[in-house]
Amino acid sequence: MIDPLLSNTRDRMKKSIEVTQTDIASIRSGRATPALVENIVISAYDGTQRLKIMEMATITTMDSKTIVIAPYDASTIQEIEKGIMETNSGITPVVDGDIIRITIPLLSEERRQEYIKLAKAKLEAGRIMVRQVRQEGMKELKKFEDAKDISEDDRKHGEKRVQELTDEMIADIDAMGQRKEAELLQI
């Protein structure tokens, strides 16, 4: 009874961490990564479809400062360029034949600090998601005890294991935050 609940709780916490990782990856760090542009939604084919760039093109990095986007359909290149410009992310796409090049400029110290604050806010949101999953797991254990499916000792043991799982996931989020902060402060 407790093991399936713990397994479900672990899976849901891992999904929360994946969401947080995706959020953190989208924060610009002065280094070119496909994550900076892959989730930008583009209004393609004269507005008939809304697609992410990763669904419309191959995204690669030439070096630590350059992202190259090669659309599968060359007719969408202008729409991709326009969509990137509309995000106001501080990156400027340049059409070069049938590809788009984006050169990532260096970040000012002020901008780095803004991005660190943004990263901390996203990390806190991730911690909150993990804690919500923990709270739901604790409620389920209490329901099991109230329904006489488990004993009080089993509930306390289950709560302890849910808390250990929560601590492990929060530590993962903290480590993710330290890596991102180091990446942002790197010049």
Mean pLDDT of 112-125: 92
Domain regions of the chain by residue span: 2-25+108-185, 34-103
Count the neighbouring beta carbons within 10 Å of the beta carbon of residue 77: 21
The topology under which CATH files domain 2-25+108-185 is Topoisomerase I; Chain A, domain 4 (1.10.132)
Q: How far apart are CA 179 and CA 185, in angstroms?
A: 10
Q: How far apart are CA 70 and CA 60, in angstroms?
A: 8
Strands 99-103, 93-96: parallel, antiparallel or unpaired by DSSP? antiparallel
Q: Which residue has the higher pLDDT, 133 or 41?
A: 133
Q: What is the pLDDT of residues 76-96, one digit of tens each?
A: 888 888 888 887 667 788 898
Residue 183, pLDDT > 90, answer no
Strands 66-71, 99-103: parallel, antiparallel or unpaired by DSSP? antiparallel
**CATH dotted code for 34-103:** 3.30.1360.40
| Those residues with Cβ within 8 angstroms of residue 63's Cβ, 6 or more apart along the chain or in another chain | 32
Q: What are phi and psi of 41, to 5 degrees?
A: -90, 130
**CA-wise closest residue to 14 among 177, 133, 157:** 133
Residue 121, pLDDT > 70, answer yes
Q: How far apart are CA 50 and CA 40, in angstroms?
A: 10
Q: How far apart are CA 8 and CA 14, in angstroms?
A: 10
Tell me what percent of the residues of the chain surpass a pLDDT of 70: 98
Bridge partners of 68? 60, 101
Residue 135, pLDDT > 90, answer yes
pLDDT band for position 141 (50/70/90)?
A: very high
Q: How far apart are CA 155 and CA 166, in angstroms?
A: 16
**Maximum average pLDDT range among 13-27, 37-51, 57-71, 165-179:** 165-179
